[in-house]
Structure 1
Amino acid sequence: MNEALQTIDILLLGSGGREHALAVKLASSPRCGTLYIAPGNGGTLEVGENVALDENDPAAVADFARESGIGLVVIGPEAPLVVGVADAVREAGIPCFGPGAAGAQVEGSKLFSKELMGRANIPTAAYGSFTDEESALAYVREQGAPLVVKADGLAAGKGVIVATELAQAEEAVHECFSGTFGDAGSTVVIEEMLTGPECSLLAFTDGKTVRPMATSQDHKRALEGDRGPNTGGMGVYSPVPIVTPEEHAEMERIMDATVAELAAEGIDYRGCLYGGFMLTPQGPKVLEFNARFGDPETQVILPRLENDLVEVMLACAEQRLDEIELSWRDEWAVAVVLTSAGYPGSYEKGKVITGIEDAAAMDGVTVYHAGTAVNEAGELVTSGGRVLAVTALGDTFEAARNLAYEACEKIGFEGKTLRHDIGLRALKGREAWD
């Protein structure tokens, strides 16, 4: 076997739908030897070996990677990045896809991210930051609603409150400082509320070169018509048809400028940079940066990527991404998320799941596991709020969307919940956001 095709063993950290999508893509590479997933889920069992390992313990991850002869570590979630797992892995001399703790602050601290954008002249919402409740409340009353109140640190996706009325904003400030979000709420960022459609643009980067991925659009609200509480994501599609060439070019410019600013400040950022944008009347503005792949965005982006993911990630880890050009399938991708009844509030676990094989047997359909596990009887059961993401590829947006919903009908579990309007707004064009 020539050197270019030598296989390497890979360790992937995480347990969600994003990690199952990453695992499927990594396992399809001729470069992939043994694929370990820590801790994994009921779906990753089918493409690799789940291992009991604390993904948030830098020393434990580095030790496992060293002792197992791992040739690439891929970090899925944000928490291991923020605590410095990538730093420990690199110090052990092992290639790693994911930024170190310094770079992960683009997601780990909303204030760090806003200040970084200010230094790089990146368009974003006007804001104030506060470390005491009294000052924050004074700012809220001075600005008036609508406002967006954000806990500074990681709050498992729950630390952002969109307040359309003053009383809501005041309550959100109180909630942050009352300890609801732990240390994440000790600093609070309060922003103006931007208007327009949202769009995600993720990019591979080695800290020097930036290779943008395909655009995608998530549906955060729990209920149809974009109502109800925010969730981790109820459905997503790629690409986003309403984005103009000028908006796309500006989003790419912003991603380039962000990586350049990080490098200028001495931060070595290798991995995925996620740009969450609002397409405002004044042009794209950054809502947030994440330091990793999105979930469920990964479940529609990776099926459209024609490149070998192992090769791309190694190029990022070894700072030779300039050698890689990305190639994308022409098909549209639509994913619908199946959730447990009650999500994002409390929900029951352990419900037996049926029909995945029938859905996955459909041409163009992939079922990604998120909150699944295998019980003592060997049955696949629910173990989380977001249970599965059903992804379909099609020659048209409508074809992909219809196929995804057809596949969803084949899957059953007690309390299965889903939105039936994923992508409908985009089908109507830009005026649907007016």
Structure 2
Amino acid sequence: MKETILIIGSGAREHAIAEALARSPQRPKLICFSGARNPGIAALCAAYGIGSIVDPKRVVAFAAEHAPTMAIVGPEAPLAVGVADALWTAKIPVVGPTQALARIESSKGFARELLAKHNIPGNPFFQRFESLDGLEAVLTRFPNQHVIKDDGLAGGKGVKVCGDHLLSLDDSLAFCHELAAAGHPFVIEEKIEGEEFSLMSFCDGKTLRHMPAVQDHKRAYEGDKGPNTGGMGTYTDADHKLPFLTDADIAAAQSINERVAKALAEDCGAPYRGILYGGFMATKDGVKLIEYNARFGDPESLNLLSLLETDFVAVCRSIVDQTLDQQSVDFAREASVCKYIVPDGYPDTPRKGDAVHLPTQLPPDVTLFLSAVDVKEGQLIATGSRTVAVVGKAATIAQAEVLCEQVVQQIPGPFFHRVDIGTATLIDRRVEHMKSLRSA
């Protein structure tokens, strides 16, 4: 039977999902429901609905019109409100966890407590708070060495780190008071030092198929300066590791993902079917968990889906049918570099409404993914967030970076990007940082 696949979401991640599905020899029919019209996705879809993706009834109503055989949820917010649950109830299988399982992302305290309960390595010291009781004792136990996190989803703006955002005990107390006043539980963690990386796994609740490791760059400006963003770009290496990681680091992250999937099934009484995304840090004391996400990362998925050689429709079907143990998953042995073009002023005061002029021809190993854009009077317009992602693939990171940068430079206008992502200078700094930590 020919698949009809519902994609939920409208960003570059969902554009990459649509492109990967469209490459399938099965030639599935694609439909999309999202909060905005992404012309890149729309060009691949037979139907495109616009509405609230965090309203399960609206999503199911659109699905009922088009009878998908399967759905893929891109962003975290629909998962947190139970869109997957509603689709399963409507007899539509979903690549994306149910609301209870999605707590691995929607509650940072839940994730930490799951690791602690099941003796899974990777936790630093942490404590979850629902009030201010005992707060000062914990903050003073780790002076200048703590991280404060809103327990729930905060769009990347709910985490503050000593030395970056919190410059004194008063700053930390003020942020905690702000969260408590808003009725938000929060988690305080010991700050750990090392290099971050993402390790995502396809998961059907029993079997995991791991993806190559990726490094994201959250800071807006070169040299890892400036405010946090949704992610300015990413890179992968041809060996599916990263230059600053050891085989033991990769094995540890994969093991944590496997144990977390098992723990989730035990505690929630249901299989985790979707993408299990561990955000990790390599430290001198081994791999530590930063946080979990319950879906593909953005921009990480742009690299990974560009490298995926296996039929993505078959992978998704094996996830929902829990037959991933019978499905091999292969990625090209190439490096990749992704750079986002964003409006001037992003992320705090981004320009909106500027025309986006894309190159008419691309090299064969470069792909563009559209994100926060719209079309007005036939012209592509930036709507104020990450605008266009450029992904280059090559034999080495250096070659992929050159390809990527050449295309980024061809996109004019009041936009900027991080030139340094994927460059030897940046990567060498990461390698030397880990060498110094491991030898200390």
- TM-score band by shorter chain is over 0.9
Aligned partner of 2:248 among 241, 246, 249: 246
Report how far residue 364 of structure 1 moved. Answer: 0.4
Aligned partner of 2:88 among 87, 90, 96: 90
Alignment match, 1:309: 312
- Decide whether aligned partners of structure 1 residues 162 and 55 sit closer, same or farther in structure 2, where only a CA change above 3 A counts: same
Report how far residue 383 of structure 1 moved. Answer: 1.0
Aligned partner of 2:3 among 4, 8, 16: 8
- Decide whether aligned partners of structure 1 residues 173 and 384 sit closer, same or farther in structure 2, where only a CA change above 3 A counts: farther
Report how far residue 50 of structure 1 moved. Answer: 2.8
1:80 aligns with 2:81: no
Q: Match of 1:319, SS? A: coil
Q: Match of 2:24, SS? A: coil
Report how far residue 406 of structure 1 moved. Answer: 0.4
Alignment match, 1:323: 326
Alignment match, 1:17: 12
Sequence identity percentage: 38
Report how far residue 65 of structure 1 moved. Answer: 1.6
Measure the CA separation in 2 of the matches of 1:148 and 1:178.
Answer: 15
Q: Match of 1:93, SS? A: coil
Deviations 1:227-266, CA, capped at 9 Å, x for gaps: 1111111110013232211111111111111101111221
1:56–1:85 Cα contact (<8 Å) kept: yes
Measure the CA separation in 1 of the matches of 2:194 and 2:311.
Answer: 35
Aligned partner of 2:39 among 42, 51, 65: 42
Measure the CA separation in 2 of the matches of 1:223 and 1:135.
Answer: 37
Q: What is the CA RMSD across the aligned residues, in angstroms?
A: 1.8
Measure the CA separation in 2 of the matches of 1:389 and 1:169.
Answer: 38
Report how far residue 32 of structure 1 moved. Answer: 4.0
Deviations 1:187-212, CA, capped at 9 Å, x for gaps: 11011111111110000001111111
Instruction: Map residues 395-414 of structure 1 onto 2, 5 A cutoff.
Output: 395-413=395-413
What residue ranges of structure 1 are gaps of 5+ in the alignment? 1-5
Q: Match of 1:103, SS? A: coil
Measure the CA separation in 2 of the matches of 1:181 and 1:131.
Answer: 11
Letter in 1 for 2:368: V
- Decide whether aligned partners of structure 1 residues 170 and 259 sit closer, same or farther in structure 2, where only a CA change above 3 A counts: farther
Letter in 1 for 2:402: N
Instruction: Map residues 104-253 of structure 1 onto 2, 5 A cutoff.
Output: 104-122=102-120, 123-133=122-132, 135-164=134-163, 167-168=167-168, 170-178=170-178, 182-183=182-183, 186-239=184-237, 240-253=242-255
2:56–2:82 Cα contact (<8 Å) kept: yes
1:419 aligns with 2:422: no
Letter in 2 for 1:117: L
2:49–2:62 Cα contact (<8 Å) kept: no
Measure the CA separation in 2 of the matches of 1:362 and 1:61.
Answer: 37
Report how far residue 384 of structure 1 moved. Answer: 2.7
Measure the CA separation in 1 of the matches of 2:14 and 2:63.
Answer: 18
Report how far residue 180 of structure 1 moved. Answer: 9.5
Aligned partner of 1:345 among 339, 343, 348: 348
Q: Match of 2:187, SS? A: strand
Measure the CA separation in 1 of the matches of 2:138 and 2:158.
Answer: 19
2:131–2:180 Cα contact (<8 Å) kept: no
Letter in 1 for 2:357: T
Report how far residue 293 of structure 1 moved. Answer: 0.3
1:54 aligns with 2:55: no
2:339–2:389 Cα contact (<8 Å) kept: yes
Alignment match, 1:381: 381
Aligned residues: 423
Alignment match, 1:3: none
Alignment match, 2:391: 391
Alignment match, 1:357: 360
1:218–1:237 Cα contact (<8 Å) kept: yes
TM normalised by structure 2 equals 0.92
Deviations 1:137-196, CA, capped at 9 Å, x for gaps: 44213321121110000001110111128654543443354259955xx11101111111
1:274 aligns with 2:307: no
What residue ranges of structure 2 are gaps of 5+ in the alignment? none
Report how far residue 46 of structure 1 moved. Answer: 2.3
